[in-house]
């Protein structure tokens, strides 16, 4: 990571240009910039932690080998969001396990909590309990509403960016967002900040970076 720190201030397009010219190691920067964002999308799609990590890695591999097709007509974030959404949809269609959670997956999720908090123990316990309530509330909402909420409120995309990623109108984004908020408990909205929802641990970030870059490097030798 130290060798690429000097490129951290580069824009996505500048980094992509360098990757196209053979500096594949810089793809790590794009992974780190988008990890929390893609993780929230996977979890909002109702996938558990491990499935979401797998989908993210697949998405990054797809994106890397399709970089030549990226035309910069939209932001890189919007482009990779579409890839992630497509992978989520394809996985659901293939396995039809939207609400299935095998015993071993449940055990793994106990060791990989969706909500990771850094403050004192009392706050951790409170946030975990409230987070579980919010997660349940979000997962009970129809998918088309939940995805809009995840992109607008959790990931901070604009109405235009959300509309482009989901191929709907901006007015539809606003309608769905308002409907979602109406379905959620008002007290949950007041208590929780976006950063507390579907937070992505730095440990997971490093693991995904390592897995994706190892695969890219092994295929380009």
- CA–CA distance, 34 with 195 (Å, rounded to integer): 15
Instruction: State the average pLDDT over residues 182-199.
Output: 59
pLDDT in tens, 118-174: 344 444 544 555 566 667 777 778 889 989 988 998 888 999 999 999 999 999 999
Residues 6+ apart with CB under 8 A from 73: none
Per-residue pLDDT, 45: 84
Per-residue pLDDT, 112: 44
Residue 51 has, within 13 A of its CA and on its CB side, a CA count of 24
Instruction: State the average pLDDT over residues 181-191.
Output: 62
Mean pLDDT over the full length of the chain:
80
Per-residue pLDDT, 116: 41
Per-residue pLDDT, 212: 96
Tell me the pLDDT band of 43, cut-offs 50, 70 and 90.
Answer: confident
Tell me the pLDDT band of 184, cut-offs 50, 70 and 90.
Answer: confident
- Spell out the domains of the chain, with CATH numbers in brackets: 1-109+201-221 (1.10.1740.10), 115-197 (1.10.10.10)
Per-residue pLDDT, 129: 52
Contact 165/174 with Cβ under 8 angstroms?
Answer: no
Instruction: State the average pLDDT over residues 16-28.
Output: 95
Judge whether residue 201 has pLDDT over 50.
yes
The pTM for the full model equals 0.66
- For residue 73, CA distances in Å to 32, 69, 203 come to 22, 11, 33
């Amino acid at each position: 990571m130290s060798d690429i720190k000097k490129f951290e201030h580069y824009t996505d397009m500048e980094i992509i240009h360098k990757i196209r010219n053979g500096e594949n190691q810089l793809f790590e920067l794009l992974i780190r910039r988008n990890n929390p964002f893609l993780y929230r999308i996977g979890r909002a799609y109702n996938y558990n932690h491990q499935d979401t990590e797998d989908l993210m890695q697949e998405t990054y591999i797809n994106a890397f080998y399709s970089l030549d097709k990226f035309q910069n007509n939209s932001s890189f974030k919007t482009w990779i969001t579409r890839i992630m959404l497509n992978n989520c949809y394809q996985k659901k269609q293939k396995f039809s396990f939207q609400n299935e959670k095998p015993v071993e997956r449940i055990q793994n999720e106990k060791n990989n909590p969706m909500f990771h908090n850094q403050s004192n123990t009392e706050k951790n316990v409170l946030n975990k309990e409230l987070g579980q309530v919010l997660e349940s509330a979000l997962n009970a909402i129809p998918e088309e509403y939940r995805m809009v909420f995840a992109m607008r409120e959790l990931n901070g995309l604009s109405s235009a960016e959300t509309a482009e990623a989901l191929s709907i109108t901006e007015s539809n984004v606003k309608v769905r967002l308002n409907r979602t908020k109406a379905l959620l408990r008002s007290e949950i909205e007041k208590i929780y900040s976006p950063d507390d929802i579907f937070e992505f641990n730095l440990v997971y970030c490093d693991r995904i970076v390592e897995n994706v870059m190892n695969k890219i490097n092994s295929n380009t030798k």
